[in-house]
Amino acid sequence: MTTSNDIEARYATHMRSVQDRKDQAVNNLITVFRYLKQHCPDLDHIKISYSGGGDSGQVEDVTYVTAKEELLDLPNSLDSTPLPLDVYQHQRAIEHLGVNYTPAELLDDAAWDVAYGQHPGFEINEGGYGTVHVGLLDPSCDVATVRLEHHEIVESTNDYEHNFTTSEASA
């Protein structure tokens, strides 16, 4: 028989796993950003938008942006060429027996892991959406950062209670 302690222990283990994946995803996003920046110096930051609802979700768009906020097209060979495994450590790549990910695939997976790791279950019911930003915190010091903007869609209920009485007419 499963006890409430068993369920709590399994949930705690699951949540630790989710948080570990999020932490690794943050590292992967920064690593891929640095890799792309080496090959494309005009890259200032990456915006990865996602959405989820009705028990599913997906990354909608990955946008590469210059310091002047202009869209940047990466060379197709750069975006679609698998990264060498020594560039990153990604759990799913390891699970797939060393299958290399392209920058686009890794950005997609890692952004979802960051959003889900910070807001687990957001894709259930009404869902949510947001943007993961990856870039340099300060270009002069080469400190990279990941920023998450997340919006949950919440259905609200307004409760009202009304009492009506009638007065008897005098006869």
Structure tokens at 8: 């709590």
Give residue 97's pLDDT band: very low, low, confident or very high (50, 70, 90). very low
Return the closest-CA partner of residue 24 out of 144, 129, 106. 106
8 A C-beta contact, residue 67 and residue 44? yes
Strands, sheet with 45-53, edge to edge from the N-terminal-most edge strand: 56-65, 45-53, 128-138, 143-152
| Predicted pLDDT of residue 24 | 86
pTM here is: 0.79
**Region 110-128 average pLDDT:** 90
- Nearest-CA neighbor of 40 among 66, 60, 63? 66
What pLDDT, on the 0 to 100 scale, is given for residue 59?
Answer: 94
pLDDT of residue 132: 96
- Does the pLDDT of residue 35 top 60, yes or no? yes
Please, what is the average pLDDT of the chain? 84
What does DSSP assign to residue 167?
P
The whole-number average pLDDT for the span 52-80 is 89
